[in-house]
Chain A
Amino acid sequence: MVMTQITMGTTSAVLSFEDFVAARLPALLRYATLVAGNRHDASDLVQSALEKTGVRWRTVATNGSPEAYVRRAILNAHISRWRRRRREVLVQDTPEVAWTAPAAAWEHGELWAGLQQLPPRQRAVIVLRYYEDLSEREIALALGIAPGTVKSQASKALDALRATLTDSGTTDSNQEVLP
């Protein structure tokens, strides 16, 4: 085991892949859950991304930020899956299955439910903006879309979320909801 300090995507020493996975797996799963909207897909996305990363670990670990690499792989896999599902809508109407968070009273339940109802790309924009704190330009690069599209997608997403909260009778998140 190599002792090393792991921060968001940086390593201060040569880190074994096993140590990296053990240390960062919860955070990666959480990120993938936010991006994908459900834990089942998130698990698949993380497994796939880590497999790709693991086979080229030496290069990834020494040349850059391993966690950023994995997160990017997760995001790209999610976008690819989204594109696949868009195509599926063409031939058969198969709505994306929503994920229900573990039952517990949760102050953000309405907002979470609204996030799940967003189209995948809008959801990704919101997660990258408000969870990853990326700029419009960084989001555009990450998603392979124009900055203007990021802006419009974010605006639509926020409008939709706002409408969700309005429909539920609140714009504040202090009520208890079963997520």
Chain B
Amino acid sequence: MSNHRDDDLEPALRAMLGDHHLDVHPRADAVGTVLDGVGRARRRRNAGYAAASTLVVAGVIGAITLTGGDVPQGFDPVVTPSVTETVTAPTTPATPTPPPTRPPSSGTTTPPTVPVAPEVEMLGPDGIGDIVLGMPVADAYGTDTLGMYDPVTETLMPWDGSGAENVCMPAGQAKRTTPDAARVWMDDSAGVSEIAIWPTISNPDVQTVEGLRLFDDLDRVLELYPDARVDDTNPSTLRIYVDDWGGQGSVLTIRDLLTGTVMDMSVVLVGGEGGCYE
């Protein structure tokens, strides 16, 4: 781990970190507080499942309707939300994808179109795919491109319904990711406030609209963004900021270039942060 084994620092660290002075004694009601929180989380999740079930039923009915099938009695045809798919357009506001137009009756059934995933997803000055900076939380969920980010397995999970009410919790931020693309932070007051990509979660085929990708080198960064602002004041990293990126009032931050390559890119709206952030 270290070449500095010529002193007693490492043993001292072990002793300090294991010292009983750092023991933490929970309050008497701590277990109850945890259990109460789990109960609330379960209720939110169940509510989310119920909402998701409704959408699935609506989707099935809509699909039946579009393909000319019979709709079960007792159900009204419902316009379906857009299906989950990755969209390349970086600046498109979130609007529900209209259902495909049913072709003129020909007496035959048209097979469904299989969506083809684009090869590269664009991170632009105002967002990624259907996710746009400043978009209200509900609209962001409405794009149907967000999944639950599992903090342990680092895998994408279906949205568990924990919902916007969680995003302002002081313990953390909304952690939602577009499939294999980016992590999105949201809160009730500011909506989508940051979109970030980095190697552990992102699809390597994400790039900025100018063509910068993760693992590109510093020369490439400066070639694409010659007027970028360089911040080398932090001894552990090197950041480059592209202010007023694309004239949209957002800032592109490119991080950790001391390693020689781009390890993190994010776009934020300056002044767009909401009240829940410190």
* Residues in chain A within 8 A of chain B (CB atoms): 17-18, 21-22, 25-26, 29-30, 33-34, 39, 42, 44-52, 54-55, 69, 72-73, 76-77, 80-81, 83-88, 90-91, 94, 101-102, 104, 106, 108, 111-112, 115, 119, 121-122, 126-127, 129-131, 136, 144, 146, 148-149, 151, 153-156, 158-159, 161-162, 165, 171-173, 179
- Taking a contact as CB atoms closer than 8 A, the residue among A26, A44, A77, A91 that contacts B25 in the complex is A26
Residues in B whose Cβ lies below 8 Å from that of A76: 151-152, 154
| Contact between chains at A51 and B8 (CB < 8 Å) | no
Question: Bound state CA distance, A156 and B2, in angstroms?
Answer: 10
Question: Bound state CA distance, A83 and B255, in angstroms?
Answer: 11
Q: How many chain B residues touch the partner (CB < 8 A)?
A: 65
Please provide the chain B residues from 247 to 261 with a CB less than 8 Å away from any CB of chain A in the complex: 251, 253, 255, 259
- Taking a contact as CB atoms closer than 8 A, the residue among B26, B171, B201 that contacts A77 in the complex is B171
| Contact between chains at A54 and B41 (CB < 8 Å) | yes
Q: Mask for B137-175, Cβ within 8 A of A = 1, else 0?
A: 000000000000001101000001000000001111101
Q: Mask for B9-36, Cβ within 8 A of A = 1, else 0?
A: 1101111111101111110001101110
* Residues in chain B within 8 A of chain A (CB atoms): 1-4, 7-10, 12-19, 21-26, 30-31, 33-35, 37-38, 40-42, 45, 151-152, 154, 160, 169-173, 175, 185, 194, 196, 198-201, 234-236, 241, 251, 253, 255, 259, 266, 268, 270-271, 273, 277-278
Question: Bound state CA distance, A121 and B235, in angstroms?
Answer: 13
